[in-house]
Each structure stands twice: as C-alpha cells, then as structure tokens.
Amino acid sequence: MAATIRIGTCSWADEALSKWFYPPKLPAKERLAWYAEHFDTVEVDSTFYRLPSASMVQGWAERTPDGFTMHVKAFGLMTRHPVKAEVIPEDLRGETPVDERGRVDRPPRELRGEVFRRFLEALEPLRAGGKLGGILFQLPPYVVYKDYSLDYLEWAREQLGGDEMLVEFRHRSWLDEENRAASLAFLERIGAGYVVVDAPRSDTAKNLVPTVVATTAPTAYVRFHGRNLGTWNKRGGSAAERFDYLYTDEELGEWMEPLRELAGQSDQAYAFFNNNASSEDPDNPLRRVSQAATNARQLRRLLDVNRIAASGGA
C-alpha cells in the first residue's frame, strides 16, 4: 500500500497566513487549533531561530488533535548556521566563543551536544503524545560535500537518538552527478531521511540544488520553496521575498507522478509549502491569498483528481 501524502505548510503563523488564511480577528492563540481543522501536519520553523521551551511545546501538543504530526526545524546552531550569542541559553554563554559580530564562532562539540540535549528535551510533550515527526536539518548553503560535513552529520544523527532526522541539502555539490549517489547512500546508512525540494532552476547558483526524487528512509518529504529565481539571491532580501511565488496548476501537476512514486516507496509521505508571501487572489483581484495555503489546497485537489491518496488542504 502506498503512503497517504499528508499536505501542510512551513509554519502556521507567518504574516501571509495570519492575514489571509485565518478568519478575521481570530486570536493568535487560536490559530494552531484552527489550522489543525484543515491540515493534519505542520512544519515548525520558529525553532530554527531560538530553542523552544517545554511549556511552549506543551501548548502545541494541547492545541492539536490526536494523529496530528509536527515536524520541527533544528535550531541554527545544530545545523552549523551562524547564530547570535544572545539566543543561546544564558547559562551557556560564558563558554560560548563569539566573533567580532557577536555570533557564536566554532563552538566545541560539547557545547553543541548540550544544545542538542536541551532542544530534544523540550520536544517531549510532542513525543509523548505521538505527535513528533522528524527533526529537519536544513544545512547552510556553504556546507559542501566533504569528509568533515559527513562526519558532522553522522555525529548529529547520533545526538538525535530515537528521533527521526530529515536532511535538506542547500549546496549543489551534494547532489551533482559526482556525489549524488554517495550522498543518498550516506543518508541511508546513518538512517536519515532525504528532503526533496522544488525550487528555482539554475545552472550557476551553487545554493540551488537540483530536484532529485528519492527516499533514503521510511519517510518521504518534499518542500516546495517556489520558483522565483529573480529574488532567490537578492542582496538584503527577506525570506518572504525569496519564497514569493504562487505555483500554477501546471507546475504542481508536474509533481503527480513523482509524488505517486515517493508514496509508493515510503511508510509516511509529506508535502510542505514554504512559499510564505501573499499573492493577488486569482479568483478575486480585490483581495489577496496566502500562497502556501492556496497551493496546498491546489495540490490536494490535483492529487484527488489523479487518485493519489492525500490528506490536508481539503
């Protein structure tokens, strides 16, 4: 039996969703529960910027129904991104090396390990409720395929223990013809899931990876970033600008057979939309829509038409 493709968005609280998806004047604390009436999975991206607290995660668990799945993006320090020392727990700052810009600078593995421990400990309410999906490791675009990178990923996988690791590559060296097979085989060996991406196509931008449809673990995972090549590397651009894109039916239609293939290869399958800006409503030019929520519903409709089992976005 092929897995049901569970559709969701990357965040339930970005500005476009808040303005154009939820009912007017819905209190912020009620948004997650309302979201969960329409989707049965979500990707939590706020945890990339700051370690979550157990009380915060407990609130997420309480506001979502049984069977709901939350995938959680790893804190930036865990994925070798630059982070400001001020977002590190206060009791760890004294042992945290910083650069001239106040960013954590090459912290020792022991410090990273403690950050991993606290991050995972905070997720216990989701874990206990059977609602924790994978931990998304979105690597920085400067982390290239080389022995040290492989060593770090293997170490990070060990830190996660029984939790699931999902890895998104953001430098094309991982998925070029020379290293693609080795990269996927490595993830399979360490028991980590590979994240498939839909993004702008470019032959030159090193931080745009090709779309490679594959699985390395029981979970298939696809992230739709939009195809706005013009804003992808815009200097000083915001995330909303980078991912500012509304997919057409034709573009999402390209994914019917790949998604059918991924569902057939996996025990669980997920498709998440990360295009987190708003667009003019195609059906009503007088208002706007959340790109992510709109495309999630489009994808569900197309999957239904093609008789591919799906949930969310109905």
Task: Average pLDDT across each block of 10 residues of the chain; the chain has 314 residues. List them in order.
Answer: 96 94 95 98 97 97 98 97 94 90 92 97 98 98 97 98 98 97 98 98 93 98 96 81 94 98 98 95 86 97 98 93
With the C-alpha atoms ordered 179, 180, 183, 186, is the resulting torsion angle positive or negative?
A: negative
Q: Are 303 and 259 in contact (CB under 8 A)?
A: yes
pTM of the model: 0.96
Helix (H) or strand (E) run with residue 182 in it: helix 180-190
Structure token pair of residue 88: 């590190």
Q: What pLDDT does 147 receive?
A: 98
Give Cα separations from 161 to 42, 134, 146, 310 (angstroms): 22, 12, 24, 30
Q: How far apart are alpha carbons 80 and 152 in whole angstroms?
A: 9
Domains of the chain: 5-311 (3.20.20.410)
Q: Are 227 and 275 in contact (CB under 8 A)?
A: no
Q: What pLDDT does 18 receive?
A: 94
Q: In what order do the strands lie in the sheet with 219-224?
A: 41-44, 69-73, 132-138, 164-168, 193-198, 219-224, 268-273, 5-9, 310-311
CB atoms within 10 A of CB 80: 19
Q: What pLDDT does 11 receive?
A: 95
Q: How far apart are alpha carbons 163 and 86 in whole angstroms?
A: 27
Q: Looking at the chain, how many residues does it have?
A: 314
Residues in a beta bridge with 72: 44, 135
Q: What pLDDT does 102 receive?
A: 92
Report the Cα 201 to chain-centroid distance in Å: 19
Helix (H) or strand (E) run with residue 124 in it: helix 124-128
Q: What pLDDT does 314 receive?
A: 81
* 285, burial (CB in 10 Å: exposed 0-12, middle 13-18, buried 19+): exposed
Structure token pair of residue 311: 């949930």
User: Which residue, 37, 44, 5, is CA-closest to 21?
Assistant: 37
Amino acid, single-letter form, for residue 171 = H
